[in-house]
Amino acid sequence: MSKINNSDEFPFANEEAADFKTEESSVEDASKEFDPMSLEHGPLKHLIDDNFLQYASYVICDRAIPALEDGLKPVQRRIMHALKDKDDGRFIKVANIVGHTMQYHPHGDASIADALVTLTNKRYLIEGQGNYGNIYTGDRAAASRYIECRLTELARRELFNKDLTDWIASYDGRNKEPVTLPCKLPLMLMLGADGIAVGLSTSILPHNFIELLEAQIEILREKKRTPAELNLLPDFQTGGLMDVSEYNKGKGKVKLRAKIEQRKNNRLVITELPHGTNTESLTASIEDAVKKKKVPVRTIDDFTAEKVEIELTLTQGATQEKAIQSLYAFTKCETSVSSRLICLRDHRPVEMTIDEVLRFNTRQLLEILEGELNLRKAKLLDNFHNKTLVQIFVENRIYKKIEQCKTYEAVIKAIYKGLEPFKKQLKRKIVDEDIEMLLGVRIKRISLFDIEKNRKDIDDILAELVQVEKDLKGLKGYATRYLKRLIKDYKADYPRCTESTCFKEIEVRELTATELQIKRDENGYIGTNVKGEVIMECSSLDKLLVVWSNGKYKVMPPPEKLFVDDSLERCEIFDREKPYTAIYTDARITYLKRFKIGGTIMNREYFISKGEKSKLQLLVDGTPEAIYVKYNKAKGQRIFQQRFSPGDIAVKGVKSRGNRMTTKSVKYIGTEPGRWWDQDDNTVPDGVLL
């Protein structure tokens, strides 16, 4: 009897078993806890990861972070390249430059126009004509079709050299754009930069152009064992005062203040602004402080045009010195700017210090100057070679030897043969291109050839070659002379704008000690928004201690309106370390305690006494020398008054019960013997605190 093959006779048996196993395994998988970090993900996760990585890399490298090599972001570099393409020395419509830049920049015209206006307002690279806005008032520039621009002479001379530039294809492959510009200036530190990328941001403060060049000279002169100490400080176009005690070579922050001058008739004039503010935002902050009664200013007049001039008339009785301190404490007259120098070095983001960046720029300056000298040397050698060949060709009438040649090859051979005896006068071999050049010499030049002029040109070339060789050997000296020439040419144009000083700390609580008045009315309310008698003055920064007659107390900010009824014991500025002496009665027993309040939660109710049914008999600051108590008369009572010494007990926490004074009914109590005290009673025993 043969065995039955289930797979042949029942073809769906295996499929049913497989389905059963799949269902069973899915139930088991569903019972397991889902862990997204350990499970294998599908292609969607990899797609998202790859796309996000590409986006992050693009934002960091192609949008937000400047390159260390030329100090420019991609949009700025493309604008400069477009300006160089169009440069003929005359002003060009900004709209034309924006359109030309769009051949290299894959984003819209608005971002290009904004970047161009920002670069122009920084003065160094682009010269503008028309309304480019106002860095003091915050006014925006006119539309790009109404304004014009061109390269400054500084940018034209120091930023470009097509022979030293690496080129790549533009985003659409139709054009070539520079990877970086061969910049000889420390441009990143000159311009400053701000940028927010994915996972990082940069904030580079601008520095003074001339001071950077002087620091580069110090770097070139320094010896390897004794590097120069560079004391480079930021410099802002808006001027003002700055405290760089926390700058830390570009890894800290700078405190900035407006420059405020005192004038007659109790007036102050703001003449320079802190970086990052404008007259509109500054006056708005002053108006806000005036409404809050933090600054004693009566009127604000803004006369800013080419220079900042904000005139403040003070309220009657206010002093100019105190008003200036209030302006720094409560308005944008004082700001703080953080510095974190992150840039792209070899297409990778790195964090550096100011000194490291400038030393890199100085090394790059030497490399570019060396490259320029080598290019100049090669060009001079070519000129010498060509002029010498022409002189030999004409003076020795070698052109006569080709008159009988019937083929082009014979002409070439004849000229080679004619030049053979004069090879020692040349600095390189003769090639076919040289022969082509000689064959292109015009007959007019042969006939009117000026031998003396050509010899003088050759002598000048040789003299310049000697100087170039000398500069190449003494490259640091050549770079130093180059930097000194720049300083001489531009020192008058770029003076320091921001004054460095050390700020004194402003005691804000002292300025606002009488800022608010706490009043009390007849209806049992206290607060700043209550009409009545003034019970105290305080600052909006203060915390108040409010104590009720049953010993309840709260710590709170100055209230606008708080109901206390007639049970208010005291209201004062809270000091957690201040010692108090309190006497309270609870359940017919009177207790005395010395305590400090210590830490509290704002607006939460606490008790000095044991509870709401207690009565606070006395609450005084510190420790009085004595406590005098007069008792109510009672049947069988022998003692009617006593003197206690609170200094005999220790200072404890506010939650302590205190020491028991007496079980008698208290009529009068005080720290001094009042009129109720019987001075003639010599039998009064001192009280004992249990």
Residues 520 and 649 in one domain: yes
Kindly give the residue spans of alpha helices, DSSP state H, lying in 32-108: 43-59, 74-86, 94-101
Q: Report the pLDDT value the prediction gives residue 434, as an integer from 0 to 100.
A: 84
Residues 447 and 512 in one domain: no
Residues 569 and 420 in one domain: no
Residues 258 and 303 in one domain: yes
Beta strand ranges found along 250-403 (DSSP E): 253-257, 259-263, 267-272, 297-302, 310-314, 334-338, 342-345, 348-351
Using one digit for the tens of pLDDT, what is the confidence trace for 165-174? Answer: 999 999 999 9
| 507 vs 178, more confident | 178
- Tell me, yes or no, whether 685 lies in a domain: no
Mean pLDDT of 300-318: 92
Number of domains in the chain: 4
- Tell me, yes or no, whether 413 lies in a domain: yes
Beta strand ranges found along 267-399 (DSSP E): 267-272, 297-302, 310-314, 334-338, 342-345, 348-351
Evaluate whether 563 touches 524 at the Cβ level (below 8 Å): yes
Q: In whole numbers, what is the pLDDT of the chain averaged over residues?
A: 86
Say which CATH number the domain at 478 has: 1.10.268
Which of 55, 146, 328, 580 is catalytic? The answer is 146
Cβ contacts of residue 560 below 8 Å, gap of 6+? Answer: 527, 528, 529
In the listed set 165, 183, 201, which residue is the last one of a domain according to the structure?
Answer: 183
- At position 110, the amino acid (one-letter code) is A
C-alpha angle 12-14-17 in degrees, rounded to nearest 5: 110
In the listed set 137, 158, 183, which residue is the last one of a domain according to the structure?
Answer: 183
pLDDT-derived band at 570, boundaries 50, 70, 90? confident
Q: Report the pLDDT value the prediction gives residue 361, as an integer from 0 to 100.
A: 96
Q: Is the pLDDT assigned to residue 672 strictly greater than 50?
A: yes
Q: What is the pTM of this model?
A: 0.76
Q: Report the pLDDT value the prediction gives residue 101, as an integer from 0 to 100.
A: 95
Residues 609 and 546 in one domain: yes
Q: Report the pLDDT value the prediction gives residue 514, as an integer from 0 to 100.
A: 74
Short-list 474, 480, 215, 479, CA closest to 358: 215
Using one digit for the tens of pLDDT, what is the confidence trace for 635-671? Answer: 888 888 888 888 888 888 888 888 898 888 888 888 8
Mean pLDDT of 257-283: 94
Using one digit for the tens of pLDDT, what is the confidence trace for 379-410? Answer: 999 999 888 888 888 888 887 888 778 888 88
Evaluate whether 288 touches 330 at the Cβ level (below 8 Å): no
What is the Cβ-side half-sphere exposure of residue 194, based on CA atoms within 13 angstroms?
Answer: 7
Residues 179 and 272 in one domain: no
pLDDT-derived band at 258, boundaries 50, 70, 90? very high
Q: Is the pLDDT assigned to residue 530 strictly greater than 70?
A: yes
- Tell me, yes or no, whether 386 lies in a domain: yes
Mean pLDDT of 622-634: 88
- Tell me, yes or no, whether 217 lies in a domain: no
- Tell me, yes or no, whether 264 lies in a domain: yes
Kindly give the residue spans of alpha helices, DSSP state H, lying in 556-645: none
Q: Which long-range contacts (CB under 8 A, 24 or more apart) does 393-402 make?
A: 393/418, 393/419, 393/438, 393/441, 394/441, 394/445, 394/446, 394/449, 394/451, 395/451, 396/422, 398/438, 399/438, 399/441, 399/446
Residues 525 and 632 in one domain: yes
Q: If 0-12 CB within 10 Å is exposed, 13-18 middle and 19+ buried, where does residue 566 land?
A: exposed
Say which CATH number the domain at 290 has: 3.30.1360.40
- Tell me, yes or no, whether 248 lies in a domain: no
- Tell me, yes or no, whether 211 lies in a domain: no
DSSP 159-196: S--GGG--EEE-TTSSSEEESS----S-HHHHH-EEEE
Q: By residue range, what is the domain housing residue 459?
A: 373-490
Residues 403 and 517 in one domain: no
Residue 584 annotated in active site: no
pLDDT-derived band at 6, boundaries 50, 70, 90? very low
What is the Cβ-side half-sphere exposure of residue 560, based on CA atoms within 13 angstroms?
Answer: 0
Q: Report the pLDDT value the prediction gives residue 23, as an integer from 0 to 100.
A: 46
Mean pLDDT of 263-287: 94
Say which CATH number the domain at 165 has: 3.90.199.10
Residues 175 and 300 in one domain: no
Q: Is the pLDDT assigned to residue 28 strictly greater than 70?
A: no
Evaluate whether 82 touches 97 at the Cβ level (below 8 Å): yes
Evaluate whether 422 touches 385 at the Cβ level (below 8 Å): no
The DSSP call for residue 649 is S
Q: Is the pLDDT assigned to residue 37 strictly greater than 60?
A: no
Q: Which of the residue ranges 290-304, 642-656, 670-684 would you say has the lowest mean pLDDT? A: 670-684
Q: Is the pLDDT assigned to residue 2 strictly greater than 60?
A: no
In the listed set 456, 490, 524, which residue is the last one of a domain according to the structure?
Answer: 490
DSSP 234-256: B--TT--EEE-TT-GGGTSEEEE
Residues 554 and 641 in one domain: yes
Q: Is the pLDDT assigned to residue 354 strictly greater than 80?
A: yes
pLDDT-derived band at 38, boundaries 50, 70, 90? low
To which residue do tokens 């069988």 refer?
636
Cβ contacts of residue 657 below 8 Å, gap of 6+? Answer: 591, 593, 610
Residues 425 and 459 in one domain: yes
Cβ contacts of residue 434 below 8 Å, gap of 6+? Answer: 385, 386, 389
- Tell me, yes or no, whether 221 lies in a domain: no
Residues 541 and 658 in one domain: yes
